[in-house]
Amino acid sequence: MSEDRDPSLDTLLDLDGQVLVVDPEGGHWVKFVVTRVPVSPEKPHGLDYSLTLRGPSGQRLVGFDNAHPVGRGKRGEPLDHRHRLQTVKPYAWEDAATLLADFWQAVDAVLKEQGVL
């Protein structure tokens, strides 16, 4: 086993395909899509991922992903970013555990703002 292997990576990969209802009365849910891909400058951790909180009508309220560049992102730069309502900002990847913690923190914040929590 590599010394620099992220021990939380398996947890993140195990979430692939999971859909969790986080607000049964209001209809909010989260979805995880996480797959291994070849390491590249755009995806230096070797993952293609999308973690989203969706509202009752399916609109994305929170998202963390690496599917596209942000703003004037340049070819060869990491694609990690986060969506919060209508705002998109770069996201500084640390490891899988931090990604999950940051995602759930953002989910809780939006659900509190909307009076769900």
The answer to the question of residue 4 being in a domain is no
Kindly indicate the confidence band of residue 3, based on its pLDDT and cuts at 50, 70 and 90.
low
pLDDT tens-digit series, residues 31-45 = 999 999 999 999 999
pLDDT tens-digit series, residues 63-99 = 999 998 887 666 778 899 999 988 999 999 999 999 9
The answer to the question of residue 20 being in a domain is yes
The answer to the question of residue 1 being in a domain is no
* C-alpha pair distances (Å), 25 with each of 28, 55, 85, 108: 8, 12, 21, 16
The answer to the question of residue 61 being in a domain is yes
pTM for this predicted structure? 0.90
First CA to last CA distance, the chain = 41
The answer to the question of residue 56 being in a domain is yes
**What would the 3-class secondary structure string for the chain be?**
CCCCCCCCHHHHHHCCCCEEEEECCCCEEEEEEEEECCCCCCCCCCEEEEEEEECCCCCEEEEEECCCCCCCCCCCCCCCEEEECCEEEECCCCCHHHHHHHHHHHHHHHHHHCCCC
Instruction: Report whether pLDDT(1) > 50.
Output: no
**100 is in which domain, residue-wise?**
9-113
The answer to the question of residue 69 being in a domain is yes
Query: Regarding predicted confidence, which is higher, 11 or 74?
Result: 11
Cα separation, 1 vs 44, in Å, equals 19
pLDDT tens-digit series, residues 45-58 = 999 999 999 999 99
The answer to the question of residue 23 being in a domain is yes
User: How many structural domains compose the chain?
Assistant: 1
The answer to the question of residue 86 being in a domain is yes
